[in-house]
Amino acid sequence: MSENLLEVKNLKTYFHTFKGIVKAVDDIDFDLKKGEILGIVGESGGGKSVTGFSIIKLIEEPGIIESGEIIFVGQDLMKKSEKEMEKIRGKEISMIFQDPMTSLNPLFTIQMQMEEALKLHTNLNENQRRERCIKLLKSVGISNPEDRLKNYPHQFSGGMRQRVIIAVAMSANPKLIIADEPTTALDVTIQAQILKLLKKLVRKNNCSLILITHDLAVISEMTDRINVMYCGKIVEQGITKEIINNNYHPYTRGLLNSIPRFSNNNKRLEVIEGIVPNMFDLPKGCKFAPRCKYKKHKCEVIEPQKIEISPEHYVSCHFPLIGDKDNE
């Protein structure tokens, strides 16, 4: 478990638009151990998805990965050519997207779409490929897989399509899966099924998962570690239990407190005042300072550096909330 599968160092992804530069991901570091489930959480515009896309270098114009290292099993992906990346995408690292309605091609049967990954990344012959597809569909809980292979995506419901997509992502036995809001478009009862399935498969195949979502409850149930992102920065990272129960950054705490909990019956929710700043015109010091109720003068001038507050628990804040006075 201790071996690092992925190390991201000083990653910067900027978008150069006519209106100015958007620093979607601005100097982030994190690593991912083998077999680990890492959650990336934050509000919209936090840079979660761009982080995911940057890892497999799927950033399109006007976005550019400015600098940084993405070390995956000892190799720096930043130094790979597009041709070499094509061999890694889908085989070593695969991705699951948010919208199950659009990530399958409506013109091809499920079989054709599932076989595509196998054709590209394995040496199986036609019969073996079919066998493997049937096995994969079975493993994601689709009944009657022999017949279902001939179906087109529109013949599946949202939850079923997401199962098919998971099967496609798993088809070449990748070492890493990046799932970008995989259950956001689904109903709660279906979401629970899909999350359970995803966790089971990841643990069984001993691969790692990066789960990107805005839903803190999903993250807290699924992951081993969490990165909390705000305006392109990781503001706090650590083991899931620590982040939920023992957090130090005012943003993490505000985010957790603004969710209605089942256990307390307070009629007022604690809120984070204000809104996410305009990405073209970010505040100078700490990006969260304008919304932070603990801010001091220093926060508005100097950007906080990452500090290790306890083993494996990092926070970027000048005045981390130490002590339990505000914790629930």
Partner 1 sequence: MSKTLQIRNLVQEFNLSNGILEKYKFRNGRIHKEEKIAHAVNGISFEIEQGEVFSLVGESGCGKTTTARTIIKLIEPKQGEIIFKGQDISSFSKKEMDSVRREIQMIFQDPYASLDPRYKIIKIVMEPMLFHNKNMTKNDAEKKALELLEIVGLRPELAYRYPHQFSGGQRQRIGIARALAVRPELIIADEPVSALDVSIQAQILNLLGDLKDEFKLSYLFIAHDLSVVKHISDNIGVMYLGKIVEKGSTKDIFENPKHPYTKLLLSSIPTINEEHLSEPMEITGEVPSSINLPKGCYFNGRCPYAMEICKEISPKEIQIGLKHFASCHLLY
Residue 228 CB neighbours (<10 A): 27
- Give the Cα separation of 257 and 254 in Å (integer): 5
Q: What's the closest the beta carbon of residue 221 comes to partner 1, in angstroms?
A: 5
Task: Determine, following the binding rule CB under 8 A, whether residue 130 of this chain makes contact with partner 1.
Answer: no
| Residue from the set 245, 301, 307, 322 that interacts with partner 1 by CB under 8 A | 245
190 touching partner 1, by CB under 8 A: yes
* Residue from 133, 216, 231, 309 in contact with partner 1 (CB under 8 A): 216
What is the residue type of 108? F
Cα separation, 280 vs 17, in Å, equals: 10
Shortest approach of partner 1 to residue 185 CB, angstroms? 10
Stretch that binds partner 1, among 16-24, 208-216, 300-308, 309-317 (CB under 8 A): 208-216
Neighbouring residues of 277: CB distance < 8 A, sequence distance ≥ 6: 231, 283, 287, 290
Q: Considering the rule CB under 8 A, would residue 301 count as an interface residue with partner 1?
A: no
157 near partner 1 (CB under 8 A): yes
Residues 159-188 within binding reach of partner 1 (CB under 8 A): 159-160, 187-188
Q: Which residues from 305-324 bind partner 1, rule CB under 8 A?
A: none
Select from 174, 3, 212 the least CA-distant residue to 93.
174
- Say what the alpha-carbon torsion angle 284, 285, 287, 293 is, to the nearest 10 degrees: -120
Cβ nearer to partner 1, comparing 7 with 221: 221
Q: Of 68-76, 86-94, 213-221, 297-305, which segment contacts partner 1 by CB under 8 A?
A: 213-221
Dihedral sign (CA 160, 165, 171, 175): negative
Binder among 20, 76, 271, 298 for partner 1 (CB under 8 A): 271
Q: How far is the CB of 145 from partner 1 (least distance, A)?
A: 17
* 318 CB neighbour count, 10 Å cutoff: 18
> What character string, x for contact with partner 1 (CB under 8 A) and - otherwise, covers 24-43?
-------------------x
Nearer to partner 1, 29 or 270 (CB): 270
Measure CA 265 to chain center.
Answer: 32
DSSP 74-127: TEEGGG--HHHHHHHBTTTEEEE-S-TTTSS-TTS-HHHHHHHHHHHH----HH
The span of 17-25, 54-62, 112-120, 263-271 binding partner 1 (CB under 8 A) equals 263-271
Shortest reach from residue 294's CB to partner 1, in Å: 16
Cα angle 39, 42, 43; round to 5: 145
**Distance in angstroms (rounded) separating the CA atoms of residues 106 and 128:** 25
Tell whether residue 193 is a contact of partner 1 (CB under 8 A): yes
CB atoms within 10 A of CB 23: 21
Question: In angstroms, rounded to a whole number, what is the distance separating the alpha carbons of residues 103 and 118?
Answer: 18
Q: Is 85 among the residues that bind partner 1 (CB under 8 A)?
A: no
- Considering only 150, 200, 217, 322, the residue that binds partner 1 (CB under 8 A) is 217
User: What is the nearest approach in angstroms of partner 1 to the Cβ of residue 15?
Assistant: 19
90 neighbors 172 (Cβ within 8 angstroms)? yes
Decide: is 282 part of the binding site for partner 1 (CB under 8 A). Answer: no
Q: Which residues of this protein are in contact with partner 1, per CB under 8 A?
A: 43-44, 157, 159-160, 187-193, 195, 214-218, 220-222, 244-245, 254-256, 258-263, 267-273, 275-276
